Amino acid sequence: MRIMVNPADLPIIEALEATAEKLLERHLGATKEWFPHALIPWTAATDYEPDYEWQPDDATIPPAVRSALFVNVLTEDNLPFYFRDIERMFGRDGAWGEWVRRWTAEEGRHGMVLNTYLQATRAIDPVELERARMIQVQTGSVPEPPSAAEGLAYVSLQELATRISHFNTGNLLEDPVGKQIMRRVASDENHHFLFYRDALAAIIEIDPSSAVMAMEKQTTDFAMPGLGIPGFNDHAKAIADAGIYDLAIHHDQILQPVIMRDWALESIEGLSPEAEEARARLVKYIGRVGRVGARIAARREERAASREPAGV
């Protein structure tokens, strides 16, 4: 029995069992085995002295990239609470349970490789990082979508956002090893996104109204995991200012391609009056995010241009 699943979600979870099995099989066939230890630049590591105090010049990484690495690794470290919530939404039995455990194992590998890389290269103050990890995990703050449909809507957007953040962070790292690690992790996150995206697409086929209302609720309330991270707002601003992840990216690389194209929001048929209203609100919201994001991106480009030396 799926005793952890909300009884109201059981019909959807059971109806999608075959879909989950097919998506899990596709995932296992598409992903490749890899080992964190093989990616770590061990020759860069040195022993820490008992009185070691980290200095910013220990690693020549721009502050915004350091903020991104800080948020990314602490997000991965909060895995115990993500597992709890994913299992609550999808259950521990059958293909769904197999997926939950596989996803958890892969996400755990991400935290392992990122933490070890940061420790070996001294890219981040290890004392600050550990203190923040303790706060983050003790707080246990994670999004808690109330239903399976909303859960799939949220994790679809979140996994893609995480992939983009990891990939863009890697692009700003001059260290080729760090770049390789971020791309390896980003690739995994993309496979996770594809599972969740296509699972929600299956809900659109069998219960379009619930799917659209879930999209609207989770899109308009969307926030990246990590709000419990110390200094999260300041780090998020630095990440946005560096163009790693901001509203323009959120609109152009997530909302438009996933909701408007992949899920074909405007073409979904058979909606209830309530779902029709949710669709109208969501279309309006996505348009507004696009306009605001474009303005923010334009201002960032203007600031960058003003900092360029004359003649460049």
**Could you tell me the CATH number of the domain that includes residue 294?**
1.10.620.20
Q: At 181, phi and psi to the nearest 5?
A: -65, -45
Q: Looking at the domain assignment, is residue 219 inside a domain?
A: yes
**H-only helix segments in 207-231:** 208-220
Q: Looking at the domain assignment, is residue 199 inside a domain?
A: yes
Q: Looking at the domain assignment, is residue 7 inside a domain?
A: no
Q: Can you read off the two tokens belonging to residue 122? A: 């001294």
Would you give per-residue pLDDT tens digits along the chain (312 residues)? 344 677 888 888 999 999 999 999 999 999 999 999 999 999 999 999 988 999 888 888 899 999 999 999 998 888 878 888 888 889 888 999 999 999 999 999 999 999 999 999 999 999 999 999 999 888 877 778 889 999 999 999 999 999 999 999 999 999 999 999 999 999 999 999 999 999 999 999 999 999 999 999 999 988 776 767 888 889 999 999 898 999 999 999 999 999 999 999 999 999 999 999 999 999 999 999 999 999 988 887 787 677 665 444
Q: What is the pTM of this model?
A: 0.92
Q: Looking at the domain assignment, is residue 50 inside a domain?
A: no
Q: Looking at the domain assignment, is residue 175 inside a domain?
A: yes
Task: Find, among 119, 120, 118, the residue nearest to 44 by Cα.
Answer: 120
Structural domain including 124 reads 14-44+59-307
Q: How many CB atoms neighbour CB 274 within 10 A? A: 11
Per-residue burial over 3-40, b if 16 or more Cβ lie within 10 Å, else e, is eebbeebeebbeebeebbeebbeebeeeeeeeebeebb
Q: Looking at the domain assignment, is residue 293 inside a domain?
A: yes
32-79 pLDDT, tens digit each: 999 999 999 999 999 999 889 998 888 888 999 999 999 999 988 888
The total of structural domains in the chain comes to 1
Task: Find, among 148, 123, 26, the residue nearest to 69 by Cα.
Answer: 123
Q: Looking at the domain assignment, is residue 1 inside a domain?
A: no
Q: Looking at the domain assignment, is residue 312 inside a domain?
A: no
SS3 content of the chain, % helix, strand, coil (to 5): 75, 0, 25
